[in-house]
Each structure stands twice: as C-alpha cells, then as structure tokens.
Chains A and B, each alone.
Chain A
C-alpha cells in the first residue's frame, strides 16, 4: 500500500469507501492517480462477518445519532436513526442486496417528461442516458451483474415462487431480476451458496462490493493509501477558494490535516451534506460550495415499502438470496395511473428478528403475535419508487455536537401527494400479487430507515438549481467532487448502486483527463 505524507498536496482525497468512493479510488489509481482514501469505519474482512441480522447491523451500520422531522413515518418510528448506511471499509456495499437496474430515459428527463408538479422541484439531469450507458456497461461487467455479459440470472427460490405465481396470475412481467451476485463463479468470486445473509457482510464473497473487488485492486496498483477509522470532520480551502485539504480524526482521536489536489466526498447523502454544511468559512459562509443554499436540499429516499403475507404452507423465505425477484410493469411514467414516475417491484426477505422489528414498529398484542408466529409461512414483496424532490426535504445541522465537534444532522422529510398516491397504488399491487398466490393475510409494512439516500447535493445544468455539474463537480469549487448518491438530479425508481458505480467510473475518466490536461 502507498503511504503519502500529510503535506503531499498532489493526492486526491476521497472521503468514504463505498460504492462511489471505493469504485472511484480504484478507477483513479488504475489511471495512475495517487489517492488517499479516508474511511470512518474499520477494515473488516469476511472472517469478521456473521450470519446474524442484529449482529451484522451493529457491526456494519453508521449508528451515530441523527435527528428527524417532518410528516414521514420514519421520524416517528426511527427518530434518531432515520437513515441507514454503513460505517466500515466498503461502506454500504458490505450491506446491499445486489439489485442492479438502470435508469430509463424518462427518469433522466423528469421535468420534461413529467412536467411541472406543484410542490415538487423536478429538474432534468444535466447528462443524458446515452452519456451514462457506456459506463453502465463497464459497471455491469466489473460487478458481474446477472443477465449481462452472458451471466445467468439467479435461480428461483421459495419466496420467488410465491411472487412468480401471483405475478403470472395477474399477467405481470416477472423474472428473478439482475444482481451483482454470482449465479456462477465469476471474476475470482464464487457462486452464491444461498446463505441468505448478503446484507450482513456476505461471508462467501459471491456479491460484488468495494471491499472484496475494488479496494484490493486499487491497493494492488500501489497508488492507494487507505486509511480506515479516519473520520473526516472539515474540508479546507485555499485563498483562491479551491479545496486544499481535509481535517480528519484517527482511531486514537488524533486530528490530522491531509493536503489535497482535489477532494471527493462519498460518505452517503447525510454525511456528505453534513460535511459541506459544516465546512463553512468567511468565503463560504453558508457552508462549502453552498452559495445557492442547495447543499442538503431535495433529499430523496425512494418510496420503499414491503408487504409481508401469510400463506397456508411453508415458504421459508430466509433461504437464499433475499431480493431475487423483479417486476418492471410499473417503471415507466404513465400519467393514466394517476401519479408521476414509476416503481420497481422486487422480492424481499428478512429473518425473524428484522421481520418482527420492521413489520409495523409499535404494533403489539395478540394480532401481531398471531402473524409473526407464522413466520415460516410468510413471503415478502417490496417496491422502490421515485419520490418527488422538494426544497423543504433536506439535511440540516442542529445545535448538538457529536463526539468530533461536528453538528448532528437533522433530516426533514414531508411526503408529497404524488408520493402518497404511489405508495397507496403500490401497496394495492403488492397485496394483489400475494393474494393471487393464495395469501390468507397481508400486512402493509411501512418504510424502514432510508437506505436509498439520494439527491441532497444534486447535479444540475444551472448552478442555482443544485450543487454539482454533470461530472459531479461542485459548481462553485472546481476541485471538489461528490461520488455518492447525493449527486442524483432526481431519484428514478431503481436501486441506486449500479448508477453510483457507473457515475464514479465516468467521473474517474473526467478527473484523469482534467489532470492530464493540467486543469485539476
């Protein structure tokens, strides 16, 4: 591994080692760029991971306090942990369930296609689908996405058989979908053993993560200095207003200042926005790169919800890959449905501990008990839909300081009427699918802490509409970039990781070219 000096101002400093930061670190070092990667969490290995839902949650999650406000149900159910991401080398790619779907053209031009919607602040992406497509191809190849590059889909498991039967009865287009999980050995990684614990780290390593693919390869270039347990707390700038370094705290609590040629934030929505807001100065009095007040705004979290249904006979939904099912009939924007945007239907499985915890937090009594007792006979089905960007839905700083002296973030989110309509229609569809497969009872579970955190530092063609340009570079600071989902101009409907990876590869191309041209 490379070791760079703290005063080496030739390095690119990336904050966060997940889908965006970890991929970018590999793609830059591959191109010869010297990178310091700061990761707040520990460097764990497959050996450390457990097949245990709460054990894995406590090992991997970002558990620092946040606060929440707004009328979203999450603020009531999970007031101090409204968002769910990981704090570990590999970031949330140690936890994700591998779904890999692409944005569609409608979603990239949300304002043009959906039109102005009262209360929403839609924009078109500053880049086109055609510009991302070559990078989607590269991302799918590196991640080994099933049903691309000749790789077969994941095999149908028990939970999928339920989804399939219901979907077929309703005439819907159903498959096991596309995942960055090996259905057969690929790229040195084994095929899935269907252990059902991809979200607690993946001990087997059949699923792509930056921990098991990108970072080892980045380290092998000799250009990466990976610093785990290094918590970025402030981004500094020089007299010209350009990013000049990052202050971070190491595992021993010692503060360091790493100089930088360019700084990339990839700490997931909440942390990236929080760090920018906190990094205020005389020149950037509202926070770094926040001259238009858009840092933290237009926070998105997707319309995510699950229906759990009880059947007469055993399903054992915990057996096998947890999200291996997909229906795409409701993805395209279709105004005749009564709402803008669309949603994916996906399979969902959880073990008993988290099914009980997330089915309806706060629900107790004989009725709940009678449902959860039938866990063996339960199946799960899920949706991920596009939520509306709203100016008031945002990450802000509170007056409370964390252990590092950085203000605790608040996440405010109010549901837009379009969101509510899509949720209702989605529940009806999910329940109908399970009913058609013979469900005797279906429970409409609310959203759990947001795991698709998007949009709070969005790309925009015009500086006044967002924070970043189409390369994920701050409109106001030419050597400041963002490589996580907070850059999304709008949320689309699909699980975001594939797009984050594709954008990171594209960003690496852009940055390397800028450097070669002496412009960065």
Chain B
C-alpha cells in the first residue's frame, strides 16, 4: 500500500539544499566542520538507513537558523561539537559507529547534548520526506480529510459492529 505525504499548504515549503558538499554554503552560522559533525551526530542519534543525508542536512539547516536567532543556542551547538571532538584521539567524524556512540553517551548529561537530541527529534521527524518514508500522510484537510480516503480501511482485524 502506498501513501503520499503532504505538508499543509500554509506551512513553509521544505528547504532545498544542494546535493554536494556545498550545501554548507546555505548556512549562516555553522562552518563546514561543525555542520558535517552535526549531520553525523544526528544520524548516529537517529540512524535510519533508508533516509538520505539530505534529510539530516535539512535538520542541521534548522539548527543553523536556531543558532542565528539565539546566541545561547549557537554556543551550545559549538560546545556540542567541541565535546565530541575532544572525546577520543580522533575527531567525531572520523570515529567508527561504536566509538561515536561512546562519545555521545559520555556527554548525555550536558545541556548541549539535550539541545541537539531534542532538536533533532523536533526537525527530523517533521520532514515531509521522512513522513513519506515512514507512512505518515500529514495534512489532509485540503483533500477532504480521510472520511472517503481510508480512515477505516484496516482489514486485518475483525470489523467492529456498526454503532459500537
């Protein structure tokens, strides 16, 4: 069964980022190392093999906007990257997955970690490409809701009696 995910037409359109490493030129606060480290961190926190890097980059694009709007957020993101880079003899980006996990667990109690972890959830799972991948259809009112589009189409359990 295939579905199509929709963002509400009144919400801002998804950000379009270049495919190559030049995507970081779309950022206003983060340099390439900070940005790429955050992408790797977001993917390590929420590893979905089926998602392309683009969606993680769009999440980091939102972080950059947060950093642009609030100095405290900018400091926390920078601190997060510093903490991860100083956790092991190699930078975080150079680590293998198990060492990345160890580095992240080591800073779990920090404000910076909390900001990155919560903000990743906030933006990654709000991405329409992720909705499409995981089967969430999003906005429906512009299509007349689901009343004629499958709100009760589950057919692998017994049908409840009418008027239940």
Among B122, B138, B154, max chain A CB count under 10 A is at B154
Report chain B residues within 8 Å CB of A437.
157
Quick check: which of A131-139, A155-163, A264-272, A489-497 contacts chain B, the rest being far away? A155-163
In the assembled complex, the CB of A225 is this many whole angstroms from the nearest CB of chain B, namely 31
Report chain B residues within 8 Å CB of A376.
3, 134-136
Q: Is the CB of A50 within 8 A of B10?
A: yes
Closest to B135 in A: A376
Provided the pairs A51-B139, A153-B164, A195-B145 are in contact, do residues A161 and B154 lie with their beta carbons within 8 angstroms? yes
Interface secondary structure of B, over-half rule = loop
Q: Is the CB of B45 within 8 A of A51?
A: no
Quick check: which of A99-107, A281-289, A360-368, A397-405 contacts chain B, the rest being far away? A360-368
Q: List 28 A-B contacts (CB under 8 A).
A: A50-B8, A51-B140, A51-B142, A52-B8, A52-B139, A54-B126, A152-B163, A157-B146, A162-B157, A164-B157, A165-B157, A175-B164, A176-B164, A193-B144, A195-B141, A196-B145, A316-B154, A319-B140, A319-B146, A320-B152, A353-B122, A353-B125, A356-B125, A362-B117, A364-B46, A365-B47, A366-B47, A375-B136
0/1 string, A351-373, CB within 8 A of B gives 1: 11101110001101110110011
0/1 string, A447-471, CB within 8 A of B gives 1: 0000000000000000000000000
Provided the pairs A195-B145, A314-B1, A357-B125 are in contact, do residues A369 and B47 lie with their beta carbons within 8 angstroms? yes
- B101 beta carbon closer than 8 Å to chain A: yes
Interface secondary structure of A, over-half rule = loop
- A192 beta carbon closer than 8 Å to chain B: yes
In the assembled complex, the CB of A359 is this many whole angstroms from the nearest CB of chain B, namely 9
- B70 beta carbon closer than 8 Å to chain A: no
Closest to A325 in B: B164
Q: Which of A20-60 contact B (CB under 8 A)?
A: 50-55
Identify the A interface with B (CB < 8 A). Answer: 50-55, 152-153, 155-158, 160-162, 164-165, 174-176, 192-197, 203-204, 312-316, 318-320, 351-353, 355-357, 361-362, 364-366, 368-369, 372-377, 437-438
- A222–B73 CA distance with the chains assembled, in angstroms: 49
In the assembled complex, the CB of B83 is this many whole angstroms from the nearest CB of chain A, namely 16
In the assembled complex, the CB of B156 is this many whole angstroms from the nearest CB of chain A, namely 5
Known: A319-B137, A373-B48, A375-B134. 14 other contacts (CB 8 A): A158-B151, A161-B152, A192-B145, A193-B147, A312-B156, A313-B156, A316-B3, A316-B137, A320-B147, A352-B131, A353-B126, A355-B125, A356-B124, A357-B122
In the assembled complex, the CB of A368 is this many whole angstroms from the nearest CB of chain B, namely 7
- B21 beta carbon closer than 8 Å to chain A: no
0/1 string, B8-50, CB within 8 A of A gives 1: 1011000000000000000000000000000000000111101
Q: Is the CB of B141 within 8 A of A204?
A: yes
Q: Is the CB of A319 within 8 A of B150?
A: yes
- A490–B124 CA distance with the chains assembled, in angstroms: 40
Provided the pairs A156-B152, A364-B117, A373-B48 are in contact, do residues A51 and B138 lie with their beta carbons within 8 angstroms? yes
Q: Is the CB of B160 within 8 A of A204?
A: no
Report chain B residues within 8 Å CB of A194.
145-147, 151
Q: Is the CB of B147 within 8 A of A192?
A: yes
Provided the pairs A50-B139, A161-B152 are in contact, do residues A361 and B118 lie with their beta carbons within 8 angstroms? yes
- B7 beta carbon closer than 8 Å to chain A: yes
- B130 beta carbon closer than 8 Å to chain A: yes
Q: Is the CB of B164 within 8 A of A174?
A: yes
Closest to B147 in A: A194
Give the 3 A-B CB pairs with smallest separation, nearest first.
A376-B135, A193-B145, A51-B139
Q: Is the CB of B140 within 8 A of A158?
A: no
Q: Is the CB of B138 within 8 A of A351?
A: yes
- A197–B126 CA distance with the chains assembled, in angstroms: 15
